[in-house]
Amino acid sequence: MTLRGITKRFGAVQALSGVDLDVFPGEVVAIVGDNGAGKSTLVKVLSGVHSQDEGTITFEDEPVSIPDPAAAREMGISSVFQDLALCDNLDVVANLFLGREVTASRIMNEEEMERRSWELLRQLSARIPSVRIPIASLSGGQRQTVAIARSLIGDPKVVILDEPTAALGVAQTAEVLNLIERLRERGHGVILISHNLADVQAVADRVVVLRLGRNNGTFNVRDVSYEEIIAAITGASDNAVTRRAAATRTSEENPA
């Protein structure tokens, strides 16, 4: 999937201006940036919640438009929203298959859905005590697991995770990171939005930095240091001090 020149305005605010993004199968792309950098807006454009004002989205070499969430899902883009969007009163199976229930002659096939739920959760090595208990009685990490597992139903090509570890403890975060690696192994393209650079460095292949609605650098995680990413996020690499440092270095290297 390729995005070129995505621009989105909300009234007087230019949320995104000319953002480019590529995602390939079997790759985890992290999008990082400060608050207001446009991460969530970009995700919403991808998942069909908002549509872009300008720019093109190419999916499997075909130009596409994503007018609403259903269209995104049909295309094979599924999103795990930050608030998870689970129904607390329904059980795990019902949530996993919500809106995509398996039916036999118009009647829901609960047994088939339960079987597939266990299969999917086991593939993800997820630890859910029972798929017949309401979501409300699960822990935060388990809910996140259910939300991620739900995004895989219908076998999407790209999975978008918006701040999946923001509300989690240490062990649960580790579990979600394992899940993300398993998504990559299964050949999904993963877009990971995160504030947590430790998480990003742990699982991402590439890091795309947004700053004030613009691309501010793309790095391969292996070749980049924590400080360089921070610098790109804050814009610290482009200020009076760094310019002076660069100038000094140049003059040292080339003494008159």
Shorter beta-carbon distance to other proteins: residue 7 or 139: 139
Q: In what order do the strands lie in the sheet with 206-211?
A: 77-80, 158-162, 189-193, 28-33, 206-211, 214-220
Is 133 a residue that touches other proteins (CB under 8 A)? yes
Is 106 a residue that touches other proteins (CB under 8 A)? yes
Give the Cα separation of 116 and 224 in Å (integer). Answer: 40
Looking at 5-13, 137-145, 189-197, 234-242, which segment touches other proteins (CB under 8 A)?
Answer: 137-145
Shorter beta-carbon distance to other proteins: residue 22 or 112: 112
Angle made by CA atoms 108, 109, 111, in degrees to the nearest 5: 140
Is 129 a residue that touches other proteins (CB under 8 A)? yes
Question: Element (H or E) spanning 112, and its range?
Answer: helix 110-123
> Which structure tokens are listed for 224?
């980049």
Taking CB under 8 A as the criterion, the residue among 53, 55, 108, 212 binding other proteins is 108
Under 8 Å between Cβ of 183 and 149: no
Is 207 a residue that touches other proteins (CB under 8 A)? no
Taking CB under 8 A as the criterion, the residue among 1, 3, 30, 131 binding other proteins is 131
Taking CB under 8 A as the criterion, the residue among 114, 162, 163, 199 binding other proteins is 114
Q: Enumerate the β-bridge partners of residue 91.
A: 134
Is 136 a residue that touches other proteins (CB under 8 A)? yes
Q: Counting runs of H as helices and runs of E as strands, what totals does the chain give?
A: 9, 12
Give the Cα separation of 170 and 190 in Å (integer). Answer: 22
In the complex, minimum distance from the CB of residue 58 to other proteins, in angstroms, rounded to a whole number? 24
- Write out the residues near other proteins by the rule CB under 8 A: 69-70, 73, 81, 83-90, 94, 98-101, 103, 106-112, 114-115, 118-119, 122, 125-134, 136-137, 139, 141-142, 145, 171-172, 174-175, 178
